[in-house]
Amino acid sequence: MADVQTKLDLLKEVVADESDLNLVLDKLLNVISEQHRSLLKRYQADLQNFESRYGMPSAEFYQKFERGELGDAMDFFEWAGLFELQQNLLEKIQRLETA
């Protein structure tokens, strides 16, 4: 199986019309964006559970956790990791939407 760059080069070769290639890439980016949005909903539901359990928004929790103000409970590490995943995913979605 060819590597990614080889496949991209092949696409450029076989799709003569640049507007057609652009359309194909737009559709692919939309599919990936939708997958990310679906995953984001799951992350947000999990974050909501932590927020309800501890009575604090995730952004506030994360700041306090990073400053070492909350202790080392396993829930806090899971919550912090989930918050970081959400933030990374939001950045990816924003990049996809501006592409």
Where do the domains of the chain lie?
18-98
Along the 99 residues of the chain, how does pLDDT read in single tens digits? 678 899 888 888 888 788 888 898 999 999 999 999 999 999 999 999 999 999 999 999 999 999 999 999 999 999 999 999 999 999 999 999 888
Q: Which parts of the chain fold into alpha helices (H)?
A: 4-14, 18-54, 58-66, 74-98
Assess contact for 86 and 44: CB atoms under 8 A: yes
In this prediction, residue 1 carries a pLDDT of 67
pTM (2 d.p.)? 0.82
